[in-house]
């Protein structure tokens, strides 16, 4: 292999780090090094020591070098895509002051509600940031920290997102990108910069935040000698700004704002996420109006409970995750960690419709149905917020791109097909977040457009699975249960679902 032909795309997710070694010219995936993370917490808390991410990155790169057989000298660039929203606070010496609060830590729900009210309501927030504060957003977590650990907040000299933390470790430069920054609720998608009034509301010093690069593909520096020694890579190779995991997946799929919602994406992982590329800036409380890594927009809706919740139900039943059947009359809302969409941060799971002839396999199938229903209803909200009618036959016929760990599971794919009635495409390449990060790294090396690079690699081109008849009876049954469970939210209290 000629020298200087390989880039590394890093996917630092909630549960693990993956380092994809990719040939720049062909997009061939040479190897994927992996290393696990440790997530701690209970009763709504979800935390990880950021040093765990750095050690996992180091281990994943070492594993990828070994598996690929690529000489270190062939690597010419690296970019990190990270889980969104997590709050990392650093002290004067650059070290984390405490474990990071992860996106799925729901303790900051009261702070989210208070922030929403402080600015005058949801519409005021979406007009500025594109999103309304919920427990997942970094601004809510920062306010939780200020109220519950004021000494730690006062000692913080730097505030970072997970991917920012790793990028700074690689390059020595404090830089983020518009995509990941747009998930903080202190970056304005309307102006393309941090919002001074929101920083004042949050009591955040601008100097504590990373600079915002023009895009996730921008070369923001070079691999430092220290980082190079830790990773076993050449010092001086290109480090791209990187981005959030959803934005990186969009790049990996070759989505860059060419059209509005032509190919909605469902990502089935720890969370269930639906997004699409758009050149139009959406501003609706019904969704998160994020920026994309390339300067366009990525309207997105996210649910908390997806593959992990279904795996938990399978474990409780003593079943393999594939041993499921349609739920029959049973309905299971698997909101085991609260829920983000719908906004039920204190919810727990709800099971109803049991009969004497209900089988364990049907209960597991009902968990799949509950999780998929929640993601697909979030898709409907996204479509409506962008001016499209989800019941319009033309809109309803648009294929879904199905990605994430769940996309490799037969039960997940078939449940999505049955409840959506849409054609489904499951990209065979996999590792789309890491491949998107690799395209960002390749762009930093070559100066070419990252979406064009990923499109040339054909990371998102795969045959479609034909539409099947939509299971409207199951859809209506789950919707009725969820609507009844959510009805008390019209009052002052948030009950457990």
Same domain, 197 and 303: no
Same domain, 322 and 373: yes
245 a catalytic residue: yes
Is 345 contained in some domain? yes
Crossing angle of helices 432-446 and 450-457, in 10° steps, is 120
Q: Are 132 and 285 in contact (CB under 8 A)?
A: yes
From 245, 337, 343, 380, active-site residue: 245
CB atoms within 10 A of CB 478: 24
Is 449 contained in some domain? no
What is residue 492's predicted lDDT score, i.e. its pLDDT?
Answer: 38
SS3 405: helix
Is 444 contained in some domain? no
Number of domains into which the chain is organized: 2
Same domain, 106 and 234: yes
Same domain, 283 and 407: yes
Ligand-binding site membership of 356 (annotated): no
Same domain, 147 and 273: no
Range of the domain at 377: 255-426+467-497
Same domain, 192 and 259: no
128: Cβ contacts below 8 Å, ≥ 6 apart: 119, 188, 190, 195, 198
Which of the listed residues 215, 248, 281 is the one where a domain comes to its end? 248
Is 436 contained in some domain? no
Q: What is the DSSP letter of 87?
A: B
Burial of 207 (C-beta count, 10 Å sphere; 0-12/13-18/19+):
exposed
One digit per residue, the tens of pLDDT, for the chain of length 497 reads: 554 599 999 999 999 999 999 999 999 999 999 999 999 998 899 999 999 999 999 999 999 999 999 999 999 999 999 999 999 999 999 999 999 999 999 999 999 999 999 999 999 999 999 999 999 999 999 999 999 999 999 999 999 999 999 999 999 999 999 999 999 999 999 999 999 999 999 999 999 999 999 999 999 999 999 999 999 999 999 999 999 998 999 999 888 644 445 578 999 988 898 988 888 787 778 788 899 998 788 888 889 899 999 999 999 999 999 999 999 999 999 999 888 788 888 889 999 999 999 999 999 999 999 999 999 999 998 888 777 888 889 888 888 999 888 999 999 999 999 999 999 999 877 788 999 999 999 999 999 999 999 989 976 567 789 999 999 999 999 999 998 887 754 333 443 43
What is residue 182's predicted lDDT score, i.e. its pLDDT?
Answer: 96
Q: Are 379 and 390 in contact (CB under 8 A)?
A: yes
CB atoms within 10 A of CB 160: 25
Tallying the residues shown for the chain, one arrives at 497
Same domain, 296 and 241: no
CB under 8 A, 24+ apart: contacts of 188-193: 188/128, 188/129, 189/129, 189/130, 189/281, 189/289, 189/290, 189/291, 189/297, 190/127, 190/128, 190/129, 190/130, 190/281, 190/283, 192/291
What is residue 175's predicted lDDT score, i.e. its pLDDT?
Answer: 97
Is 432 contained in some domain? no
What is the C-alpha to C-alpha distance for residues 203 and 187, in angstroms, rounded to an integer? 14
Helix (H) or strand (E) holding 88: strand 88-90
* β-pair type (350-352, 331-333): antiparallel
What is the C-alpha to C-alpha distance for residues 243 and 440, in angstroms, rounded to an integer? 9
CATH number of 198's domain: 3.30.420.40
What is the C-alpha to C-alpha distance for residues 242 and 227, in angstroms, rounded to an integer? 16
Is 75 contained in some domain? yes
Same domain, 244 and 261: no
Provide the token pair at 116.
Answer: 């929403």
Which of the listed residues 220, 248, 276 is the one where a domain comes to its end? 248
Angle 6-9-10 (CA atoms, 0-180°, nearest 5)? 140
Q: Find residue 36's DSSP bridge partners.
A: 16
What is residue 461's predicted lDDT score, i.e. its pLDDT?
Answer: 60
Same domain, 134 and 260: no
What is residue 262's predicted lDDT score, i.e. its pLDDT?
Answer: 57
Which of the listed residues 228, 248, 268 is the one where a domain comes to its end? 248
* β-pair type (75-82, 238-240): parallel
Nearest to 256 by CA among 277, 274, 270: 277
What letters, b where the CB count within 10 A reaches 16 and e where it falls short, cover 113-152?
Answer: bebbeebeebeebbebbbbbbbbbbbbbbbbbbbeeeeee
Nearest to 28 by CA among 442, 425, 409, 408: 442
Same domain, 222 and 287: no
Same domain, 407 and 313: yes
What is the C-alpha to C-alpha distance for residues 78 and 83, in angstroms, rounded to an integer? 17
Is 106 contained in some domain? yes
Same domain, 289 and 233: no
Residue with tokens 């990028």: 167
Is 458 contained in some domain? no
Ligand-binding site membership of 84 (annotated): yes
Residue with tokens 């349609």: 326
């Amino acid at each position: 292999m000629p020298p200087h032909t390989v880039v590394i795309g890093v996917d630092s997710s909630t549960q693990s780090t993956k380092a994809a070694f990719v040939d720049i010219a062909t997009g061939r995936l040479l190897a994927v090094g992996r290393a696990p993370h440790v997530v701690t917490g209970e009763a709504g808390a979800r935390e990880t020591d950021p040093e765990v991410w750095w050690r996992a990155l180091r281990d994943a790169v070492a594993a990828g070098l070994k598996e690929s057989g690529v000489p270190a000298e062939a690597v010419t660039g690296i970019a990190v895509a990270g889980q969104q929203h997590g709050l990392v606070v650093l002290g004067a010496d650059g070290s984390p002051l405490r474990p990071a609060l992860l996106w799925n830590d729901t303790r900051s729900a009261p702070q989210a509600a208070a922030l929403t009210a402080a600015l005058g309501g949801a519409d005021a927030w979406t007009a500025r940031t594109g999103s309304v504060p919920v427990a997942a957003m970094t601004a809510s977590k920062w306010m939780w920290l200020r109220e519950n650990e004021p000494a730690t907040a006062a000692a913080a000299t730097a505030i970072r997102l997970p991917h920012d933390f790793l990028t700074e470790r690689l390059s020595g430069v404090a830089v983020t990108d518009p995509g990941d920054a747009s998930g903080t609720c202190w970056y304005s998608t309307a102006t393309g910069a941090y919002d001074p009034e929101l920083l004042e509301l949050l009591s955040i010093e601008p100097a504590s935040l990373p600079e915002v690069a023009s895009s996730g593909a921008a070369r923001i520096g070079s691999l430092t000698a220290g980082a190079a020694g830790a990773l076993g890579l050449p010092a001086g190779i290109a480090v791209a700004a990187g981005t959030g995991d959803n934005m990186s997946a969009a790049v990996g799929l070759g989505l860059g704002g060419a059209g509005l919602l032509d190919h909605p994406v469902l990502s089935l992982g720890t969370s269930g996420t639906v997004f699409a590329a758009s050149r139009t800036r959406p501003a609706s409380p019904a969704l998160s109006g994020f920026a994309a890594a390339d300067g366009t927009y990525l309207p997105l809706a996210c649910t908390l409970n997806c593959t992990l919740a279904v795996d938990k139900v399978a474990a409780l039943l003593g079943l393999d995750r594939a041993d499921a059947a349609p739920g029959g009359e049973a309905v299971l809302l698997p909101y085991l960690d609260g829920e983000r969409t719908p906004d039920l941060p204190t919810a727990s799971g709800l099971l109803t419709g049991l009969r004497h002839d209900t089988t364990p396999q049907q209960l597991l199938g009902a968990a799949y149905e509950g999780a998929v229903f929640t993601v697909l209803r979030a898709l409907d909200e996204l479509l409506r917020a962008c001016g499209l009618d989800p019941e319009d036959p033309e809109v309803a016929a648009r294929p879904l791109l199905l990605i994430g760990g769940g996309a490799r599971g037969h039960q997940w794919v078939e449940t999505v097909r049955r409840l959506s009635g849409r054609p489904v495409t499951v990209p065979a390449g996999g590792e789309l977040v890491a491949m998107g990060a690799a395209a960002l790294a390749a762009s930093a090396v070559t100066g070419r457009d990252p979406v064009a690079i990923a499109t040339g690699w054909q990371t998102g081109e795969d045959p479609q699975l034909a539409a099947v008849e939509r299971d409207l009876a199951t859809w209506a049954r789950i919707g009725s249960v969820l609507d009844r469970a959510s009805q008390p939210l019209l009052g002052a209290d948030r009950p457990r679902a």
